[in-house]
Amino acid sequence: MNSSNIIVSEYLSSLKEDTELDHLFPILLNVMGFRIIQTAKESKGQSQYGKDIIAVGKDEKGIMHRWYFELKGYSDRDITQSNFSKSDGIRESIIEAKDTVFRDSSVSGFNHLPVKIIIVHNGTLKTNIRDTFEGFISREFKEGEFERWDIYHLTDLFSKYLFDEYLLSDAESNRLLKKTLAFLDSPDSEFKEFKELVNIQFRTFEDIRSRAFKKLFATLNLLNSIIFHYSKENNYLVPAKECSKFLVLKTWHWILENNLQNKKAVVTEFRKILQGQFEIFGEYFQGTFPIARTENGLYSEFGGFFEKVGYPLRSFEYLDDVIYYCRLRNTLYKSKNRIAIHNKQKDLIIELINNNNGFKRPLCDNHSIPIVQLLLFFSDKESLRQKDVEFLFSYIDQTVNNIHLEKIKFDRLPELHNNIDLIIEFIATKSRPEAYCDSSSILLAILLEICTVFNSKELFKKILSFIDDTLSLQIVSIDFSNAEVEKMLFDKHLYNEYYVECIERVQDGLTLLKAEADFTKFKKSVLDKKEPLTLYETDALGLSCVRYLAHSYFKNEILPEEWRALIRDQAPQEI
């Protein structure tokens, strides 16, 4: 067995029937040319009668069959004396698959096709049960009606149809996968090997009309599954979460770059990748959220001095992730109870933030991104409650108070260039590093405009009261006459594509906004800048969650028209 097959075999042998194997096996069948009729996930919670997966496809002789696959994994991966005869064991599953009829009149000719029953297990048939098993099969089935696919056969199939032919078809992919798995749980990893491995898959792709299209997306799903699996083995899901972000964004960038976003088959396959990512995020939050939502749940008592920096950084990163997870769930699962689900999500986020003051202590100027993400997520018109308005205003107000407090105590505002080392040095030494920059601020400029959303003169004046006369207040925008902007959003930090509008002076260009502090005039100036929301192709396809992920991942500021759209011309009384 070559080194590639060893990786495949080790990976497959450790999959669990109720999660990874159920997810991964249909990918293989799809690439092999089967038409899948039903999967184990679709029939979850119902009697499956020995039919985890039902498919239509040709056998090795080219004869079309109905295929009933029964998957056995984890504790049942090996066929033994104990699990052969037990309730819901191997023997019972095979008998149920044979005796229970499955019909589907929507598939032409399906009900009249011959049946083939397959036991799929990522283990082996033990010697002490082999004679009993073979005797049972010979009595119950005619030649060609039953097959058993064990770890050796599965290794051959996965190697042939996915790994050797595509994912590990070249030495470089092979090397990168090994290095990815070897260093997966390394602290502070940037997952460079994984990113290059993903990039290689796109570079080798040729034609959407070719068989390679199916293999490309099968490979991407497989990579998602492998990283997820090994992250769970390490009991450390951050690598799976971060790698899945890159995989999703890189894939969507490739789709836009090749103008494939209007191809239904392409978007369908992309949504399968999102589904895999949803499972990763679900597992991550299942393990972390019950702790995070408790009082100071995101604070580490073992972090020592670093927690002065680590707690806020961890909190804002967590906020980005939890909002994306909610958006992703709402994208993948449409429900009549959409408003109720959205409100439940908001209630959990309110609890999370109220129990962790790290969310209200921005250290970096680009912490404006999760703050705006929060504002927009809560401001959906259909589900907006007075409770949400009050929470948001309280959150912004407390955040401003904390920025003010840092300014009073240490003469420090959030660092413009988001340099963590400089922030740590400043807080540790209580002395300003020469390179530390807070002479400009995007965050404070955005907070000033958000004051107009709440129509709050008091909050507006509070912010102006502690900023220096020399502070440059910047609102960043993008020139969308460049047709490539949306594509680039999913590929990199758009440093050169943004342009800056400075708002520290009023319209005459002479008087400082701080000196005039005229809220009514300021609000009018912001309203005069309101423009129709940019229509992103990504949003038009119902995938705005992916665009918001790109903003957070590449630290690209959300554009002002999004929060300006929340400002009403005739506002209610001031909050």
| Element holding 36 (H helix, E strand) | strand 35-38
Residue 19 has pLDDT above 80, yes or no: no
**Contact criterion met (CB below 8 Å) for 279 and 23:** yes
* Average pLDDT for the chain: 89
- pLDDT mean over 518-546: 93
pTM for this predicted structure: 0.83
- pLDDT mean over 27-55: 76
Residue 46 has pLDDT above 70, yes or no: no
Residue 169 has pLDDT above 80, yes or no: no
Q: Which phi and psi angles does 532 have, rounded to 5°?
A: -60, 145
Which range has the worst mean pLDDT, 113-117, 159-163, 222-226, 276-280?
159-163
Write the pLDDT tens digit of every residue in 501-513.
Answer: 999 998 777 899 9
pLDDT at residue 569 in the model: 61
CA 484 from chain center: how many Å? 24
Sequence-distant (≥ 6) Cβ neighbours of residue 82 within 8 angstroms:
none
pLDDT at residue 4 in the model: 63
% the chain with pLDDT above 70? 93
What is the number of domains present in the chain? Answer: 2
More confident residue, 395 or 272: 395
Residue 101, CA atoms < 13 Å, CB-side half-sphere: 7
Which range has the worst mean pLDDT, 145-154, 227-236, 530-539, 562-571?
562-571
Compute the distance between CA of residue 117 and CA of residue 91 in angstroms, rounded to an integer: 12
**Contact criterion met (CB below 8 Å) for 167 and 176:** no
Compute the distance between CA of residue 271 and CA of residue 476 in angstroms, rounded to an integer: 31
Alpha helix ranges (H) inside 14-150: 22-32, 81-85, 90-99, 127-140
3-state secondary structure of 510: coil
- Structure confidence at residue 172 as a pLDDT band (50, 70, 90): confident
Write the pLDDT tens digit of every residue in 246-279.
Answer: 999 999 999 999 999 999 989 999 998 999 999 9
Residue 101 has pLDDT above 90, yes or no: no
% the chain with pLDDT above 90? 65
Q: Is residue 10 part of a domain?
A: yes
Q: Exposure pattern of 143-175 as b/e (b: 16+ CB <10 Å)? A: eeebbbbbbeebbebbbebbbbebbbbeeebbe
Write the pLDDT tens digit of every residue in 462-498.
Answer: 999 999 999 999 999 988 777 688 999 999 998 888 8
pLDDT at residue 414 in the model: 98
Q: Is residue 261 part of a domain?
A: no
Residue 170 has pLDDT above 90, yes or no: no
Q: Is residue 571 part of a domain?
A: no
pLDDT at residue 575 in the model: 42
Asked which of 156, 186, 219 is the last residue of a domain, the reply is: 156
- Can you read off the two tokens belonging to residue 443? 């965050």
Residue 3 has pLDDT above 70, yes or no: no
Asked which of 122, 156, 190 is the last residue of a domain, the reply is: 156
Write the pLDDT tens digit of every residue in 199-240.
Answer: 988 886 666 666 677 778 878 888 888 899 889 888 999 999
3-state secondary structure of 385: coil
Asked which of 113, 137, 156 is the last residue of a domain, the reply is: 156
Alpha helix ranges (H) inside 411-518: 420-429, 442-453, 457-465, 485-489, 513-516
- CATH number, domain of 56, equals 3.40.91
Q: Which residues are 69's β-sheet partners?
A: 53, 118
Most confident of 1-10, 389-398, 511-520: 389-398
Residue 572 has pLDDT above 60, yes or no: no
Q: Exposure pattern of 493-514 as b/e (b: 16+ CB <10 Å)? A: ebeebbeeeebbbbeeeeeebb
CA 43 from chain center: how many Å? 25
Compute the distance between CA of residue 497 and CA of residue 507 in angstroms, rounded to an integer: 25
Q: Exposure pattern of 356-370 as b/e (b: 16+ CB <10 Å)? A: bbbbbbbbbbbbbbb
3-state secondary structure of 40: coil
pLDDT at residue 568 in the model: 82
pLDDT at residue 571 in the model: 42
**Contact criterion met (CB below 8 Å) for 316 and 367:** yes
Task: State the amino acid at position 188 in one-letter form.
Answer: D
- pLDDT mean over 440-455: 97
Residue 18 has pLDDT above 80, yes or no: no
Q: Is residue 337 part of a domain?
A: no
To which residue do tokens 């993948």 refer?
A: 332
Which range has the worst mean pLDDT, 170-179, 227-236, 422-431?
170-179
- pLDDT mean over 345-355: 98
Domain extent, residue 90, equals 3-156
CA 551 from chain center: how many Å? 13
Q: Which residues are 149's β-sheet partners?
A: 120
More confident residue, 6 or 541: 541
Residue 187 has pLDDT above 90, yes or no: no
pLDDT at residue 305 in the model: 85
More confident residue, 289 or 506: 289
Neighbours of 471 (CB within 10 A): 18
More confident residue, 301 or 259: 259
**Contact criterion met (CB below 8 Å) for 224 and 274:** no
Q: Is residue 171 part of a domain?
A: no
Residue 435, CA atoms < 13 Å, CB-side half-sphere: 9
From the list 232, 328, 173, 288, the residue with the least C-alpha distance to 14 is: 232
Angstrom distances, CA of residue 307 to CA of 312, 410, 427: 8, 17, 11
Which range has the worst mean pLDDT, 222-226, 360-364, 558-562?
222-226
Compute the distance between CA of residue 416 and CA of residue 412 in angstroms, rounded to an integer: 11
From the list 440, 441, 457, the residue with the least C-alpha distance to 393 is: 457
Q: Is residue 199 part of a domain?
A: no
pLDDT at residue 449 in the model: 97
pLDDT at residue 448 in the model: 97
Q: Is residue 190 part of a domain?
A: no
| Element holding 201 (H helix, E strand) | helix 192-203
- Structure confidence at residue 45 as a pLDDT band (50, 70, 90): very low
Check the CA dihedral 143-147-153-157 and report its sign. Answer: positive
Which range has the worst mean pLDDT, 5-9, 110-114, 228-232, 526-530?
5-9
Q: Is residue 574 part of a domain?
A: no
